[in-house]
């Protein structure tokens, strides 16, 4: 079968490279495309995105990342059996763009808006929290298919953890707050736990570590090394892949269970926003660690099968 994954147009600052480490939504795109090819030896996948033509060698030309500017004719020639349109935009994802292949289309969104716009068909979201938010606006054509996680990749010995606290979501969701908390309360001196803040695969600090893009292997190692994973519940989390990875690596989560964090993060310690700082310090002082795993999160292969099955149900 032929599958089309049509990603949303992005501003240049948010362009992503399918051959480089990815995180968040771009990781969803890449892993979904890869696992769709792997589902069956006859599967072919085209991903329309904001980048150059890329045909990864490992998939024997069955996976193509197609530049958006050249996609109209390519889509018609590809003639997909199933199409997933991500973050629908009336200008870029209309019948005019897709021409005669506008069929078997399902939508996907990770947009969170005070006044959400309806989409013209069945739409997938990644959490029950997001589905309920959309339903509160009278939008009921949404189904939940969560992201996946690579359980094997992040698995490690939970007894071999270092005195590291990791924050790895988007920086605006608590990175600055945690850095300030560490400084104001002298947490390193008081507890021995260092804070490592990354944001979407970029290093935001820790003495002696360079800033910039963190190689995928180093990021995996950091999850495996960190004893605690932190999230103070700021900003918008519609799933939080970082939290899934942290649990797969047996980090002990310490969170404010806001938005979809309450679904994705099932283990560890929970505090209110007001209690978070002092509660975290008490845990670090006591050196308390809790069991953590990601058994409630599907693999990327399972999540991909669930996603495409939506069109058959």
Which pTM was predicted? 0.92
Statement: residue 94 has pLDDT above 80: no
**What average pLDDT does the chain have?**
90
Q: Specify the pLDDT at position 103.
A: 74
Statement: residue 213 has pLDDT above 80: no
Q: Is 131 helix (H, G, I), strand (E, B) or coil?
A: helix
**CATH 3.40.50.2000 residue spans of the chain:** 2-148+299-309, 151-286
- Of 8-17, 178-187, 190-199, 289-298, where does the model show the most confidence? 178-187
Statement: residue 232 has pLDDT above 70: yes
Q: Specify the pLDDT at position 308.
A: 96
| Average confidence (pLDDT) over 150-168 | 95
Rounded CA separation 29/102 (Å):
20
Statement: residue 99 has pLDDT above 90: no
Q: What is the dihedral of CA 93, 236, 202, 180, to 10 degrees?
A: 160
What CATH number should be reported for the domain whose range is 2-148+299-309? 3.40.50.2000
For residue 210, name the pLDDT band (cuts at 50, 70, 90): very low
| Average confidence (pLDDT) over 143-150 | 97
Q: What is the dihedral of CA 274, 190, 212, 150, to 10 degrees?
A: -70
For residue 89, name the pLDDT band (cuts at 50, 70, 90): confident
| Average confidence (pLDDT) over 282-299 | 90
What CATH number should be reported for the domain whose range is 151-286? 3.40.50.2000
For residue 208, is it left (φ>0), alpha (ψ between -120 and 50) or beta?
A: left
Nearest in space to 264 (alpha carbons), one of 244, 293, 285: 244
Q: Specify the pLDDT at position 207.
A: 43
């Amino acid at each position: 079968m032929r599958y089309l994954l049509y990603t949303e147009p992005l501003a240049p600052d948010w362009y992503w490279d399918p051959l480089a480490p990815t995180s968040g939504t771009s990781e969803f795109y890449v892993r979904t495309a890869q696992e769709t090819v792997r589902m069956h030896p006859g599967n072919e996948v085209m991903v329309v995105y904001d980048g150059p033509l890329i045909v990864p060698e490992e998939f024997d030309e069955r996976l193509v990342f197609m530049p958006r500017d050249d996609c109209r004719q390519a889509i018609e020639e590809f003639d997909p059996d199933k199409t997933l349109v991500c973050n629908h935009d009336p200008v870029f994802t209309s019948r005019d763009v897709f021409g005669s292949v506008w069929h078997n289309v399902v939508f996907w969104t990770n947009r969170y808006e005070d006044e959400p716009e309806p989409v013209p068909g069945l739409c997938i979201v990644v959490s029950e929290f997001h589905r309920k938010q959309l339903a509160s606006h009278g939008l009921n054509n949404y189904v939940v298919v969560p992201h996946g996680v690579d359980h094997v990749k992040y698995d490690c010995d939970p007894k071999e953890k270092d005195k590291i606290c990791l924050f790895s979501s988007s920086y605006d969701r608590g990175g600055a707050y945690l850095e300030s908390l560490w400084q104001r309360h002298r947490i390193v001196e008081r507890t021995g736990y260092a804070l490592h803040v990354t944001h979407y695969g970029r290093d935001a600090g820790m003495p002696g570590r360079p800033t910039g893009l963190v190689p995928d292997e180093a990021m995996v190692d950091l999850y495996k090394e960190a004893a605690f994973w932190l999230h103070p519940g700021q900003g918008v989390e519609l799933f939080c892949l970082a939290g899934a990875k942290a649990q797969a690596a047996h980090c002990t989560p310490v969170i404010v269970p806001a938005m979809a964090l309450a679904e994705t993060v099932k283990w560890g310690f929970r505090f209110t926003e007001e209690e978070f700082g002092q509660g975290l310090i008490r845990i670090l002082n006591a050196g308390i660690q809790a069991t953590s795993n990601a058994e409630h999160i599907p693999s990327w292969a399972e999540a991909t099968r669930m996603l495409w099955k939506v069109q058959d149900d």
